[in-house]
Chains A and B, each alone.
Chain A
Amino acid sequence: MTKNFLEINNVTFAASAQSKVNNVSLTIENQGDIVCLLGPSGIGKTTILRTIAGLEKIQSGKIILKNKILSSDKTHIEPENRNISMGFQDNSLFPHYTVLENIKFGADRNKKKKKGLNLNEINKLLHIEHIVDKYPHQISSGEAQRASLARSLLSNPDLLLLDEPLSNVDQNFKEEIQVKLKQILTEHKITTIIVTHDSYEAFYLGTKCGIILDGQLKQYDDPYNVYHFPNSIEVVNFLNRGILIPAKVTGENSLENDDLGTITGDFIKHYPKGSEVQLLLQPEDLEHDDQSNLKLEVVDRKFRGTNFIYTLKTTSNKLIPVFVHSHHIHQHEVDEKFGIKRPINIDHIVCF
């Protein structure tokens, strides 16, 4: 007996020799939790979902949902008997039925339970009321994805699997749908695993995030921890939200970099004095200060609406990203000098 809602114990997920994720172990503790799996294309994220759904078999390990073994080397419960619903990336609406009929296929499964969402409510939430009488070939791919999502949600599954559910949804709709999706999943306690390549989407939706790299689940943690406390250089490189610069540990709370000088903060992991390390520097770690005598050259400036990301070049040719609020006074063009506030203090120091 396990008190976890879902347990995956030492499972190797393999669709082919190239697409293989080895010895994955993860748990979803509570009903209604949302797990987001992040990783580069072709790494095997979809295979993980397909295997949990029962569309692929496993050679070793166990998948247990609500104390029931779904897959092991000896057991394989057929997908239709798992009460797991999956939204495919290519929507997979039945082409010869209207959108409404398609969505009702989901409701059919839920007939006996008579609980969860109702059809009109979900159509309204996902903005698909105007397309319910159309056939799949008459609607856009974004609308098809939302219709597919509606069908999956209406089936009121024990576990919902979503493969890049919003990849085709227009940007202006995307944030609104993300908010509503999270609201639906949380209110109705639908336990969900979402595969996405969009880290912002994963950080927003996920109770937990898993990072899959090089055929392994590299990190499985809260979104905040994944971002701020990545556990390996591979995760840092994959998230691409900071750079690694060489530094030397000079004390309990300090280290020294040739370009930036002394940096202080709390170490996440202890390193002996004198250790040569790679320090993770994220865009929000450094502050802008034109009065500072530490000046670096601007090589690029990206306007992101709410903020600017400056890319600065150090004397040793390292490129450092710096976050600056959009309303902050700044008139630094490319090739100009940009001041960095000293002393540099980072809330938490992550080194490798």
Chain B
Amino acid sequence: MGNKINIWYFSSFVISIIVAVPIITVFSSFFETTGGYVTVLKNTFLLDYIYNSLILLTGVLTLTFIIGVGCAYLVSFYKFPGVNFFKWALILSFAVPAYIYAYSLTAFFENYGTAFSILKNLLGEGNYNAHIPKFDGMLGAIISISFSLFGYVYVLTRASFHYQSQNLIELGKNLGFSKQKSFFKIILPSARPAIVAGLSLVAMETLSDFGSVSFFGVSTLTTGIYNAWISFDDLTLANRLSSYLLIFILGLFVIENLSRKKAQYHTSSKGGFKSKSVVHLYNYKSILAFLFCTLVFFLSFLFPVFQMLYWTIIFPKHFLDLNLIELFSNTMLLVFLSCCLLILLAFISNYGNRVSKSKFLEALNTFSISGYAIPGIILAVAFITFISWLDLNMINYLGTETIKPIFIGSIFGLILVYFIRFYSLANNGIKSGYLKINYSIDESAYLLGYSKLKTFKNIHVPYLKNSVLLIGILLTIEIIKELPITLIMRPFNFETFATKAYIYASQDLLEAAAAPSLLLILIASCFILITSRYILKD
């Protein structure tokens, strides 16, 4: 049934436009004049920002690749002690935001920090500070971001390895390949799209990271954007810098796509698939595999948890001072409202695209979700800019009351920006669920007398319920951890675990930041555990 503008089409169009507003705002900065700061920036820090961003990106991508692919390879192809535990335990790193990792890293290695205390208790008084390595600055940022983000590469690569057919591995053996050659010539290249997808997510998150780079005082493009807005009040320049960032990320995608040419990577789902037989590791190989996974699990999850737990225990006053009920209910209120809005609208938009089969809508949708690469700060700023412009015009031309309080410093405004930020996650989740439903399924339903609404209700919703649950939980984890948007958009005195931890940390009260950080990690971990089966499968 050809393109038809109906209620589904219209809804999908409006949703995509709302999500696309910040991107349009960001790119519109090219047509506006910037303040004098642009000259200052060009002559002073711009090159530093770019250089630091590139170093940070290279470091994080290298580390996440090694950790993510290494762990995925070991747990997918080999059997060694604890392998079933590591399969899901390694994804717990998702619960630790980079900024909390940064607090832990600093707290442990700083002068007279936790490492110092441990050594003092074990060995007595001594000048240990000189011998304890310091992980701060760029190195600290790379480590913090890598250990909190490698999960993306691990999960996607593991799923790809999981679905790799034994035939492929046997083919390598048939051709006389050694294990190393099979890994580099067959296994790794066939998982390339998954690895690249994981690394792309890592790249976007790294370039838009604010919490940990600002904590370590590393000046990246994101910091530059923040300075342009906060210190120099030059929103146009902030937007222009964001668009450079966006173009850079898109450029990476294009290069990767071109380099793939027309190679096909997917395995046919019909026939030809043979489940893998895992290889038992013995002796030192088994110990090495165990140690590698243990080390990654310890560094990515146990280390920050123990550090925060340690401080929470030795400084119980900060924990007792927390209004836990308020923090928990505030966080969960945001989670609940955002998830409902995101899932509902992503569902409507995807169904609209599906029934209208419009290429225009599809393109608009793809364009709008690329906003995921825009740093949270910029989304918030772009949103405030847009509302201020709208407000001014409405007062001037329509004579209405100001609408700012509805959108700025309100739960509603905060939820709206969350919606724009996380729409791509919700949309892609529903979309990938829909991709598994052949069009002829819908057509069969129509031909059995089911209307579009009835088909949606009786066929699609039951089929996608697991996808929806998974997306809901992933969104929950992201929203619990989200920092910059919450900081900027929240109502006055409205605190979540993330903002509470950040505010203490920014005041150099790391020990006070421990309790909200720990609770944040524990709540996120619970949600990860609920959904680990789905995350590992999909």
Contact = CB atoms under 8 A, between A and B. Distances in A.
Interface of A: 50, 53-57, 78-86, 88, 90, 92, 94-96, 105-106, 108-109, 148, 151, 155
B255 interface: no
Contacts of B445: 94, 105
Contact of A109 (B436, B449, B462, B463): B449
Given A79-B443, A96-B463, A55 B1 contact: yes
B448 A95 contact: no
Contact of B444 (A56, A84, A88): A88
Contacts of A57: 1-2
B451 interface: yes
Interface in B416-470: 436-438, 440-441, 443-451, 459, 462-463
Contacts of B462: 96
B441 A94 contact: yes
A80 B450 contact: yes
B459 A80 contact: no
A56 B436 CA distance: 22
B463 A94 contact: yes
B440 A53 contact: no
Contacts of B443: 50, 53, 55, 79, 86, 88, 92
Contacts of B1: 54-57, 79
Contact of B448 (A50, A78, A105): A105
Contacts of A85: 447-448
A219 B330 CA distance: 73
Contacts of A105: 445, 448
B440 A78 contact: no
Contacts of B437: 95
Given A57-B2, A95-B441, A96-B462, 9 more contacts: A50-B443, A54-B446, A80-B446, A85-B447, A88-B444, A94-B463, A151-B444, A151-B448, A155-B449
Interface string B2-20: 1000000000000000000
Contacts of B463: 94-96
Contact of A53 (B447, B449, B459): B447
Given A57-B2, A96-B463, A90 B448 contact: no
A92 B440 contact: yes
A202 B441 CA distance: 26
A79 B447 contact: yes
Interface residues of B, number: 19
Contacts of A54: 1, 446
Which of B1, B448, B451 has the most C-beta atoms of chain A within 10 angstroms of its own C-beta?
A: B448
Nearest to A86: B447
Contacts of B440: 88, 90, 92
A82 B443 CA distance: 13
A148 B451 CA distance: 20
B446 A79 contact: yes
Contacts, number: 67
Contacts of A84: 447
B438 A90 contact: yes
Nearest to B4: A57
Nearest to A154: B448
A92 B2 CA distance: 21
Nearest to A106: B448
Interface string B255-297: 0000000000000000000000000000000000000000000
9 contacts: A55-B447, A78-B451, A80-B449, A83-B449, A85-B448, A88-B440, A88-B444, A95-B436, A105-B448
A38 B469 CA distance: 47
A155 B448 contact: yes
A217 to B, nearest CB: 23
B449 A92 contact: no
B446 A92 contact: no
Contacts of A56: 1-2
Contacts of A81: 449
A85 B446 CA distance: 9
Nearest to A79: B446
A251 B444 CA distance: 58
Given A57-B2, A94-B463, A86 B444 contact: yes
B423 to A, nearest CB: 26
Question: Would you list the 9 A-B pairs with minimal beta carbon distance, nearest first?
Answer: A79-B446, A92-B440, A92-B444, A109-B449, A80-B446, A88-B440, A96-B463, A86-B447, A80-B449
B119 to A, nearest CB: 58
Contacts of A83: 449
Contacts of B448: 80, 85, 105-106, 108-109, 151, 155
Contacts of B451: 78, 80
A236 to B, nearest CB: 34
A53 B438 CA distance: 18
Contacts of A53: 443, 447
Nearest to A137: B269
B465 to A, nearest CB: 9
Contacts of B438: 90, 92
Nearest to A53: B447
A55 B441 contact: no
Scoring A86, A94, A109 by chain B CB atoms within 10 A of each residue's CB, the highest score goes to A94
A84 B1 CA distance: 16
Nearest to B447: A86
Nearest to B444: A92
Contacts of A90: 438, 440
A53 B448 CA distance: 11
A143 to B, nearest CB: 14
A118 to B, nearest CB: 17
A151 B462 CA distance: 20
Nearest to A81: B449
B446 A55 contact: yes
Residue of A79, A82, A85 with highest tally of chain B CB at under 10 A: A79
A86 B448 CA distance: 8
Contacts of A88: 440, 443-444
Contacts of B446: 54-55, 78-80
Contacts of B459: 94
A185 B462 CA distance: 33
A268 B165 CA distance: 60
Contacts of A148: 444
Most B CB within 10 A of own CB, among A80, A95, A148: A80
A148 B444 CA distance: 10
B467 to A, nearest CB: 11
Nearest to B271: A141
